[in-house]
Amino acid sequence: MKPQKRWHKLFGFSVGFVALALLVIVGFLSQYYKNRVMPGVVIAGIVGNAKTETELKELINDKEKLFNLTVQFGLKNTHQKLKIWALRSI
């Protein structure tokens, strides 16, 4: 039986090390983003990068309070408040 060349061992060690490093990174990120919004998600104009559910609810409620819509029909003005019905289940 021929002895393995040195590069075979080095290649195997490198692949194993990269696989282990990726496993550790994925495990860390899955725990970090547990019960958080993933990066790049925008809800009602709010960037939700790594925000928790309560932080996001507070920001949406604050945005709801500040939003005011005025609709004019002839000489009559009506003021409407924003209601984000789709986000009530958060």
At 28-85, the pLDDT tens digits run: 988 988 888 888 888 878 888 888 888 888 888 888 777 777 778 888 887 776 665 5
Do residues 79 and 68 make contact, with C-beta atoms less than 8 angstroms apart?
yes
Grade residue 1 by pLDDT with cuts at 50, 70 and 90: low
Residues 6+ apart with CB under 8 A from 33: 50
Measure Cα distances from 43 to 33, 51, 68, 84, 89 in Å. Answer: 17, 11, 18, 11, 13
Grade residue 90 by pLDDT with cuts at 50, 70 and 90: very low
Nearest to 61 by CA among 46, 47, 51: 46
Q: Report pTM.
A: 0.53
Reading phi first (left if > 0) and then psi (alpha if -120 to 50, else beta), residue 30 is in alpha
pLDDT value of residue 84 = 57
